[in-house]
Amino acid sequence: MFIHHRVCIHYKYFRFYKMRKLILTTILAASCWSGMGHAALTLSADRLVYSEKDGDASITIHSNEDRAYLVQSWLDAGDSTVKKDLPFVVTPPLFRLAPKSDNVIRIVYLGNGLPADRESLFWLDVKGVPGLTDEESKVPNRMVLAINNRIKFFYRPAGLQGDPGDGVKNAHWSHSGNKLSVKNSSPYYLVLSKIIADKESIKVSVVDNNTVIPPFGEKSYTLKHTPASGSSVEWDGINDFGVTSQTYSQHLE
């Protein structure tokens, strides 16, 4: 399972019950914390940007527990259950994380297959399965809690025009009836965290899958009312470091 520490760390919990040599997996919950020290496993950031000019990207995983973890890390294109060949190498893909220790996960681009005129978005998955103490291993049908996290992984080609913050700053909004649309005219991903159109707040969240607008892309939202003539929209976004941008506004067209 994967961990990222900085602003928000997203965890998915799984229970594994060993009964009659079968393992039954149940998803318990998905929660979000702000890089708290009591978290069993944390990552050093809540998103990772791979700049082509740097040649690689890395992130640190930290254990705050008195037990070892078996950690697995991989990239996916949007569905963590689908194994798809991607032009990256994640190393180490599987390793033992000693109690109260750190380890670095490194990602290297293989150099082909991705657009050169815009960013590409993937997800970094990091899964940690805890080891059992001698006493715990004596308990039959022992429940094991594994920690899973997925964070955004952006591949940024060299030579892109403008600044990474242009996507948020230069977003263009319009509406037709109660349909609100936003266009991203930049080569960078636009990640929104707040939208208020004519005083109506729109819920944007990772769970609702409506926070990200791809490069040169567009997304629409449904309002509960039709904005009045001359009304405006306010929005802000998330930058490379997981920090909320300033609030921007525009009169609706």
Would the pLDDT of 66 be above 50?
yes
168, containing H or E segment: helix 166-169
DSSP string computed for 72-114 = EEEEESS-TTS----SEEEESSEEEE-TT-EEEEEEEE-S-SS
Query: Percent of the chain at pLDDT above 70?
Result: 85
Mean local confidence (pLDDT), 111-116? 92
Would the pLDDT of 8 be above 80?
no
Mean local confidence (pLDDT), 179-195? 97
pLDDT tens digit string along 125-134?
999 999 987 7
The pLDDT of residue 50 = 98
Would the pLDDT of 121 be above 50?
yes
Which pLDDT band holds residue 37 (cuts at 50, 70, 90)?
very low
Average pLDDT of the chain? 84
Would the pLDDT of 9 be above 90?
no
Would the pLDDT of 7 be above 50?
no
Confidence (pTM): 0.81
81-91 burial, b at 16+ Cβ within 10 Å, e below that, comes to eeeeebebebe
Domains of the chain: 9-156 (2.60.40.10), 166-251 (2.60.40.10)
Most confident of the following: 34-43, 134-143, 174-183 = 174-183
